[in-house]
Amino acid sequence: MRAVGELARATAAALTDLVLPRICAGCGVPGVLLCRRCAGRFAQPHLAQPRRFPAGFPPTVAAAVYAGPVRPAVNAFKEHGRAELARPLGVALALAVAAVRAGVPEAGPGTPVLLVPLPATRAALRVRGRDHVAELARAAVAELQSAGVPAAEARLLRRTGRVLDSAGLSAAQRRANLAGTFAVLTGREVPRGTLLVLVDDVVTSGATLTEAAAALGGTRQGDTPVLAAVVAATPRRAPEPGRAGPPARTRRTG
Ligand SMILES: [Zn+2]
């Protein structure tokens, strides 16, 4: 019977190798999901600094700079269905959560950390057939818990349905466009005495996180500030020509 179990495991592993594209999602080297070198790019937590800080932009830590091999790796997960990248990218997100939490002195080690995933638009769910930010949040929570951090996922927000296509709009227009995009889910209360960390994949203008923080913050007078953590942040200055990755083809709203 033991042999059967072993065989089953070996078969499963072999099938996994057949089914999954075993190339690094960042640089394309064969044999791994994410090579050591590319994985290292996801372990550089830093404060995200959008070019024009929207008023009310929450303190946000990104695990990586959205440039070089980070871009194809995030897009492989997000747009090209490589859902198996949820684990490594979730680990990166957990690192960003831990870093942003460390900057809040009033939050002791026992303060529960609630990860609030930004809800997807209905259109994005239709196109992708999955909620990739929720997948990231789940993986990050598991990672934080295994590191002894009292973390949980809290789906507190919903889209109000007011968001429009923001492509081609200025930062100010985007903000006006996004105003009132999020609301706390009916029947849900924003818990007190917890650290709320909004989580998303990539931050660019910061408008989406700002709107989401406003939706949560309105009900939290006197409590700890709403924070945010993301896998990657668009660099403030464009990388040097020739060293930059291909331009992102993905339309972003935030
Ligand atoms: Zn690589």
* pLDDT tens digits along 84-142: 999 999 999 999 999 999 988 878 888 899 999 999 988 899 999 999 999 999 999 99
Both structure tokens of 148 = 């002894």
Confidence band for 199, pLDDT divided at 50, 70 and 90: very high
Q: How far apart are CA 37 and CA 54, in angstroms?
A: 34
Kindly state the average pLDDT of the residues 163-174: 62
Distance 151 CA to ligand 1 centre (A): 30
Distance 73 CA to ligand 1 centre (A): 9
What integer best gives the mean pLDDT of the chain? Answer: 84
Q: Is the pLDDT of residue 153 over 80?
A: yes
This prediction has a pTM of 0.81
Q: How far apart are CA 252 and CA 166, in angstroms?
A: 8
In degrees, to the nearest 5, what angle opens at C-alpha 38 toward C-alphas 35 and 42? 125
Confidence band for 244, pLDDT divided at 50, 70 and 90: very low
Distance 38 CA to ligand 1 centre (A): 4
Terminus-to-terminus CA distance in the chain, angstroms? 53
What pLDDT score was predicted for residue 253?
46
Ion ligand 1 nearby residues (CB, 5 A): 24, 26-27, 35, 38
Distance 88 CA to ligand 1 centre (A): 12
63 against 180, higher pLDDT: 63
Architecture of domain 45-233: 3-Layer(aba) Sandwich (3.40)
Q: How far apart are CA 86 and CA 136, in angstroms?
A: 6
Distance 31 CA to ligand 1 centre (A): 10
Distance 231 CA to ligand 1 centre (A): 16
